[in-house]
Each structure stands twice: as structure tokens, then as C-alpha cells.
Chains A and B, each alone.
Chain A
């Protein structure tokens, strides 16, 4: 009797293991997976690629004297129903701005600021640190341009069974001194799918 029960349990375990959904790695280079209603990495890749190309083509980052602009990242508002870390978009854009050779990003101020930059400046008066190795006063460079933007969504009932979700990515590049806007663009990603799919996570 005991052997029979053991045999049954073993068989059930083997069968259950066979039914489990196998975990696979996503081929992010050539992902042929179906589109989803929520924003996924492909949407951020696409939006970032379009935005960077638009910004570079506009010539807004080309400084007249041939130098490089100092750019700070401002607030990127997430006005969608999803919990989005806006760095998912901005890190790609900042990387491309840096690599373009036309501008440098600042970590001293803005949403991409590094707290340690300010903390290390407090070490000037510490007796534990050599004051000559601490950052001097008035050495931080102020930004000349800022990037800010917004990601928002509109959900529309398409028909009885279908919903349409429009995601808008908007970015603008402004000059700090004059307040003038040098560049701005918008990328729309639209999705249509079942009413039962959820776009919030």
C-alpha cells in the first residue's frame, strides 16, 4: 500500500514538473515576442531611439564655439497608470547625449544628481580628511541646458471588446539662462487589445 502511494506521488510530481512553464531568456536583440498592452522595454527603446535622433538632427546640442554644453536632467513626470522608473527612458537618452560628444551631463543637480557630490563637500571641515584632497568651493559647473518631460497615457474604449491605449512620450530641451526652448518632440506609441488586458502594473 505504502509503495503504491509513494509511486503515485512520484508520478504526480513528475507530471506536474512536465507541465510547468519553462523560463526562457528574452532575445533582446531580435525579440519576436507579442506586443503587450503595458509599456515594455521595446517601447522605451523605440521612444529613446526616436527622441535621440530627433534631438541630434535638430542641432540643438551643437555649441557655437565648438565646446560642449552642460546638461542637467530635470523632472520627467510619469502620468500613466503604470509604475515607471523614468530612468528607463532617460538613461538611454543621457548615454547617447554623452556619447555624441556634443554635451556632458551633470550629476550635481537635477533628477540625475549624485548625493555623494554634496556629501563629499562636507568633508572640508572634517579633521579626518586631508583638506587639500577635498573638493574646493565654487568648483561645480552649473548646467546650461535642462531636459524635462512627461510620459502620459490615454485609454479609449475602441469597441465592446477592444480598448485602445495611447502612450505619449514628450521631452523638451531648454536653455537655463534665457529660458528659451531649443528642442522638443513627442513620440506616440499606440496599442489596441482586449478589454481584459490590463495596462497598469
Chain B
């Protein structure tokens, strides 16, 4: 039974993610986790090594009021697959009730080191929800570039130098990678749109089989932004078309938060230290490339929406 909500007032009250964790002020992860555990109270969590893992389970404390497993960095999807396969057979053999397996990985653990395990798990069709919290760099080790870092962003391994002003390569498209496996549901999430987020989590969890959610995760520490501006930045990411909110439901793409007239990208960029150098005149060429990425992604999404809706 999929229960969709219309306002945040309808969110379940119970908190299965306890306060007292060590995530940074302004971090986007706890917003996601609280929402996921409200939407899926029978979840078993698998957590790749990363900020979420280290900041919530410093022994002898834990923030998790649900079963939680950490194995290693690159194997959250494989660990989740093992749990899922085991519960499925134990349900058949011994009547043990099967929980919903949910895996969390950061962008490093998902786009880069964990992509093989993720691809394998999606292909094998395990009944599991994989959620990537994407703060667009390896934040846990101190802000190194990943396959999810957008073009132009400065990280400690793609610094804004005099010759090379930040990362020169574009960001991978995780949703399209996931959809290419033929999974039944994939969607993007953003903390500035909690109702959209909650409803997509509920929808993804209700599907029997692998599903994937891709969450825009503000990181004041890594983005060099004000801790009280995370939600504002997240909203601007949507309104500038940097982070379109959409879903792929059984092969059909749909934009869930339409953006008719985008706000200038500069409004989004200037709030974050990682992008500030792009606003200098000598780096305009790189800014232009980033803008082109954003436009191309948006236009491609519109085409995918049109194409998939026509053929459905």
C-alpha cells in the first residue's frame, strides 16, 4: 500500500534516527535518513563507509533504531544483496518475515568504488532500495573529487589553480546508469522538496525489485557554504536546473518539479566557495562549459520524458 502525502504535516512522527550523531551542522544526510526511516519503518540498513557511517556509529554509541550493517566501502550493494537473498530463502524455509533492505552510499561509494557491486546487484534483481547521498566529492576523507563532482568545482584533488581552475570533467549520470539496468523505479531527491522526497521514497520502497534514489546532499564543509543556507542552496539547485527533480517509473521519465524559467546559475554558484572562482573573468570558459552541461542535461531529460511518455 503506497501512501503518498501532500504536506509535511502528514509525515509519520516516529523518529528512528536518534539525535546525538556527529554529522556536521548543515549536513543534508540526516534529513534524508529521517525521511527514509519514516517512509520505511521495517528497513534493514546497509551503509557504505563514509560520512553517514562514521558520524552515526562511533562505538559505543549508535543513532540507529533499526538494524544497521556496515561492511566496507565499495560493497554496500553486495552486502545488501546477501541480506536480501538470505531473508528470501529464510522466509521460504523457516517463515521468517522479510524486511526491506535499504543501502546508503555516498557519491564516492556509489559512482566510483562501488559502481561494480551496485551494477551487479541491480542486474540480479534483488528486492532492495539503493540510495546515493551525493555531496559531489569524497567529503569523509576531506573533499576529494569524485565521478560525481560537477565540472568546475574545486576540491582538494581538483583545486582551483592558476592553470587548472577546478575539475575539468563533467559529472556522471547515475540515474541513466541505473535505468540502463532495466530497474522499475529511479528518481532524484532534494531536501528542499520534502513532500516530493517522501513520496518518491515510499514509491521506491513499494516496488518489488531493485530501485535507486539519488539525493542532492548539501555539504557546508566541503562546499564552503554557510551552514544555515543548505536548504536554500538545495532549492536553488532545482530552480537553476542544476538538479532536476524527476523520476523514471517503469521506464517512463517524468519531471516531478517543473522549472519553466530557470534562475541564473550564478545565484547557485556564488553561495558556495567551491564554485566562487568560476565567477572570475579568466575562468569564464570553464563556467560556460558547466552551464552547457546543465543545459544539455536538462534538454536531454526533456527528450527522455517526451520519448518515454510517447512510447509507453
A and B from one assembly?
Answer: no
Query: Using a CB–CB distance below 8 Å, which chain B residues touch chain A?
Result: none
Query: Using a CB–CB distance below 8 Å, which chain A residues touch chain B?
Result: none
